[in-house]
Structure 1
Amino acid sequence: MKRLIGLGLVVAGVLYPFAVHFGLAHFAPRQFALLLGGLWLARVLSAPRRPASLCMAALALAFCALLGLSDSAQLLRWYPVLISTFMLGLFGSSLLHGMPIAERLARLQEPDLPARAVQYTRRVTQVWCVFFLLNGLIAAGLTLWAPLSWWTLYNGLIAYIAMGLLFAGEWLTRQRVRGRP
């Protein structure tokens, strides 16, 4: 059930810009708030109780409550900014406390990472922080000053292409660093 709810949030996040763009003609922002709020509440109730997860969920639920109360179509457009902020916070806090996110992921495949690889994973985590910062700033700028079609194009397609290019670039760089062709 936990994975299904997590998948629901991912699918909702990916489809969100298109749902907003095409759904506003048929649904009120309040209805989007109920759907998103329901998914986040289900996540809280089904996921392990970690402080960072609870904080993220509380902020997302507060956003959904504000959206529901205001019934504002403009506020709907701030959700991608919120998600980029969450990701920046998650990756950034891992640089300050504990093991960086990229190192945690690398250790799933290779538990005994050499010091050079640990340093590399710290740099990768920093790169992702820059990505999420820039992505959030672009999403905020489009929310404030661009037409809905531009906002939808960026948040629904271009941001994911940029993320994919960053994944691919990091993978290629990792292969070169590890000495693989």
Structure 2
Amino acid sequence: MPNGVLALFAILYPLAVAFGQRWVSPRWLAAALVVAALTRLAVGPRDRLAWMWVAAATLLAAYALFANDALPLRYYPLAINLGLLAVFGWSLLHPPTVIERFARLQEPDLPDAALPYVRRVTQVWCGFFVLNGSISLATVLWGSDAAWALYNGCLSYLAMGLLFAVEWLVRQRVKRRLAGV
């Protein structure tokens, strides 16, 4: 249940920041981000990635608290993209890749012939995080609150879902080809 609440918070975060600042001080929004980050740490795995996200959320929230300004809170989706890019990119340099680890959860005896494919998918996700993070940054720097919320709270998730769907379709073709069908 707590993970579902945290996922909902992540999805609603841009809307809360963009529209919540009309009713509450940015300090309250910053406090909510810290509570969510600490809750994530309490209920999820306490790995390096979790600590990295807590650190990013805390730094952005601390600045927002100090300045009573919501602008630093708008950088959080960018921080998430940079963190994911770092994790996926690191796994390219130090295999197994993130996607290979995910693939082995479903198929522990993943054939060696599939390794170039999972490596390529990891590279595609790295490209996605670069593009998504760049658009997120552009909405922070040049977009209105509404444009920032629309992209970071809706369009980026749709783009991610589209990438998942396309990759799933391509994976089915690759599996058939590897099976010799």
Judge same fold: TM > 0.5, yes or no. yes
Distance in 1, Cα, partners of 2:121 & 2:138: 26
In the aligned structure 2, how far is the partner of 1:58 from the partner of 1:146? 26
**Aligned: 1:7 with 2:41:** no
Contact 2:56–2:76 (8 Å) recurs in 1: no
Unaligned residue ranges in structure 2 (runs of 5+)? none
TM-score normalized with structure 1 length = 0.90
Deviation for aligned residue 1:177: 0.9
Aligned residue runs from structure 1 range 22-171, under 5 A:
22-171=19-168
Tell whether the 8 Å contact from 2:61 to 2:73 is kept in structure 1 after alignment: no
**1:16 aligned partner:** 13
Show structure 1 runs of 5+ residues with no match: none
Give the number of equivalent residue pairs: 178
Worse-superposed segment, 36-45 or 51-60: 51-60
Using a 3 Å threshold, how does the CA distance of structure 1 residues 28 and 140 change in structure 2: closer, same or farther? same
Q: What's the Cα RMSD here? A: 1.8
Evaluate the alpha carbon distance shift between residue 154 and residue 48 of structure 1 in structure 2; reply closer, same or farther with a 3 A threshold: closer
Paired with 1:155 and 1:146, the residues of 2 have a C-alpha distance of: 11
Q: Post-superposition shift, 1:46?
A: 4.0
Take 1:80 and 1:97, find their aligned partners in 2: how far apart are those partners? 26
Q: 8 Å contact 1:8–1:39 — kept in the other structure?
A: no
Deviations, residues 128-159 of structure 1 (Å, cap 9, x unaligned): 11101110110101110111221121111111
How many angstroms apart in 2 are the aligned matches of 1:45 and 1:116?
39
